Amino acid sequence: MSIVNEHFDPAGGADQAAVSWEMRGEGLHVRASGTWTIATVGTLDAKIRKARELNEARRVIVDAVDIVHVDTAGAWLLRRLVRTAEENGGGGDVVNLDARFERLLALAGHVGQPDRIAPPPRLFIVKLLEEIGEGAFHAYRQGRDLLGFIGLVTVKLMHVIVNPRRIRGTALVNQIEEVGLNALPIVGLLNLLVGVVLAYQGADQLARFGAEIFTVNLLAVSVLREIGVLITSIIVAGRSGSAFTAQIGTMKVNQEIDAMQTIGLDPIEVLVVPRMIALIIALPLLTFFAMIMGLFGGGLVSVLLLDLSVTQFTTQLLDAATIETMLVGLVKAPVFASLIALVGCFEGLRVSGSADSVGRLTTQSVVESIFLVIVFDAAFSIVFSILGI
């Protein structure tokens, strides 16, 4: 027979926790005493884990007659002594525990064993329908909340328009610089390359019919009506829309928005309205710049590949497209700008106080913005087709 004692005094004698064990035949008899609480179980747990007898025993009886107090952590540690023996193919029990702690010990027996509760089997079709329903409900709730947010921002925007002195000029100019001026390089470069691709691919296909000259028509209509505003809006959604969500979300995490409300400032008027107005002003200008760069890129390919002179290209371009063609593209820009700003700010205000939430909602705002831009672009195409524009 061997006896091992471990004693822990966390408070210089005020509270004591001790554990000892001895082999009795094929079983291990464990004697626990003192206060088994969260203040003591850390050290007791470390001692127990190092004890080979306690971890290899197939039969454990824990005598808790000398335990004076137990909390949830202590009850869990007592129950784990028995569970270890059960996992080794045997069993055990906790005996002589004060009746006050029996219920707590019973509850601790269910902690740490979720893997033993097998979920009920479900048919694939049931799981599929459940996921579809959950997604549909989430989309409905998201759309409802976004629609309510659009109404709130519209009311605040009307207040600002009626009383222009409420417009924060410094914030507005700063946002125009961020979303407009600083975006010129990337917008110009990408639309230039898109123009090159459109002209090259168009010329390659039309050459089969001896109609290379109509590459200019293809370029003019596609860039002015669709590609210029669509590519620019997608770039702005990924660049500025995500920035809106990240900036406002970080302010939410840091409780800066709560501080603004405490001193009487309206977050919608201070944070959302300047960003929305700035994007409504900047995106049409970016779109016009994108159209020019797209036509310039296509013109380079046409002059170099089709052997057209600059004069011939310009003449064909003016025959293929008019000012109205450009206005069809430009009229979409303020609508797309409003969508991007609203979604970006909406998701930023939904951040729930963690870095993970900021990242997740920033990604979600970009996806939603691009989705809505494409949906509204398709709607514009249908309406213009019906109107014959």
pLDDT of 255 higher than 80: yes
> Which residue is listed with tokens 């209509």?
221
pLDDT of 31 higher than 90: no
3-state secondary structure of 283: helix
Q: Mean pLDDT: which of 1-5, 53-57, 112-116, 191-195 is highest?
A: 191-195
Is residue 218 domain-shared with residue 305, that is, in the same domain? yes
State percent of the chain over pLDDT 90: 30
Calpha distance 51→85 (Å, rounded)? 13
Q: What are 92's strand-pairing partners?
A: 60
* Domain edge (last residue) among 116, 131, 159: 116
Is residue 144 domain-shared with residue 111, that is, in the same domain? no
| Full residue range of the structural domain in which residue 28 is found | 3-116
* Domain edge (last residue) among 116, 151, 181: 116
Higher pLDDT, 276 or 98: 276
In a domain, 130, yes or no: no
The pLDDT assigned to 13 comes to 38
Q: Could you say which DSSP state residue 322 is in?
A: -
Is residue 44 domain-shared with residue 102, that is, in the same domain? yes
Mean pLDDT (whole number) for 371-386: 92
Rounded alpha-carbon distances, angstroms, from residue 225 to 39, 220, 312, 375: 71, 8, 22, 16
Mean pLDDT (whole number) for 289-303: 90
The pLDDT assigned to 244 comes to 92
In a domain, 217, yes or no: yes
Cβ burial of 340 (10 Å; 0-12, 13-18, 19+) is buried
pLDDT of 202 higher than 80: yes
* Domain edge (last residue) among 116, 151, 174: 116
pLDDT of 346 higher than 60: yes
The pLDDT assigned to 136 comes to 92
pLDDT of 325 higher than 80: yes
In a domain, 133, yes or no: no
In a domain, 215, yes or no: yes
The pLDDT assigned to 100 comes to 82
pLDDT of 354 higher than 80: no
**CATH label of the domain that carries residue 90:** 3.30.750.24
Is residue 180 domain-shared with residue 313, that is, in the same domain? yes
Rounded alpha-carbon distances, angstroms, from residue 29 to 48, 56, 104, 263: 14, 13, 22, 65
pLDDT of 5 higher than 60: no
In a domain, 126, yes or no: no
Is residue 73 domain-shared with residue 153, that is, in the same domain? no
In a domain, 338, yes or no: yes
Residues 6+ apart with CB under 8 A from 36: 17, 44, 67, 69, 70, 71, 73, 74, 75, 77, 78
Task: Provide the pLDDT confidence category of residue 378 given band limits of 50, 70 and 90.
Answer: very high
Is residue 74 domain-shared with residue 171, that is, in the same domain? no
Is residue 311 domain-shared with residue 190, that is, in the same domain? yes
Is residue 266 domain-shared with residue 311, that is, in the same domain? yes
The pLDDT assigned to 120 comes to 67
pLDDT of 225 higher than 70: yes
In a domain, 131, yes or no: no
Strands 91-95 and 59-70: parallel
Higher pLDDT, 126 or 194: 194
State percent of the chain over pLDDT 70: 92
Q: What are 275's strand-pairing partners?
A: none
Is residue 148 domain-shared with residue 103, that is, in the same domain? no
Q: 35 and 16 in contact (C-beta within 8 Å)? A: yes
Q: What is the DSSP string of 111-174?
A: TT-GGGSPPPP--HHHHHHHHHHHHHHHHHHHHHHHHHHHHHHHHHHHHHHHSGGGS-HHHHHH
Is residue 283 domain-shared with residue 338, that is, in the same domain? yes
Mean pLDDT (whole number) for 189-209: 87
Sheet of 3-8: strands edge to edge? 3-8, 17-24, 27-36, 59-70, 91-95
Length of the chain: 389
In a domain, 297, yes or no: yes
Is residue 90 domain-shared with residue 151, that is, in the same domain? no
The pLDDT assigned to 114 comes to 44
Higher pLDDT, 98 or 371: 371
Question: pLDDT tens, 80-94?
Answer: 887 777 777 777 778
Calpha distance 166→243 (Å, rounded)? 24
Mean pLDDT (whole number) for 293-315: 86
H-helix or E-strand containing 318?
Answer: helix 310-320
pLDDT of 2 higher than 70: no
Domain count, the chain: 2
Is residue 54 domain-shared with residue 151, that is, in the same domain? no
pLDDT of 6 higher than 50: no
The pLDDT assigned to 205 comes to 83
The pLDDT assigned to 35 comes to 86
pTM for this predicted structure = 0.67
The pLDDT assigned to 118 comes to 56
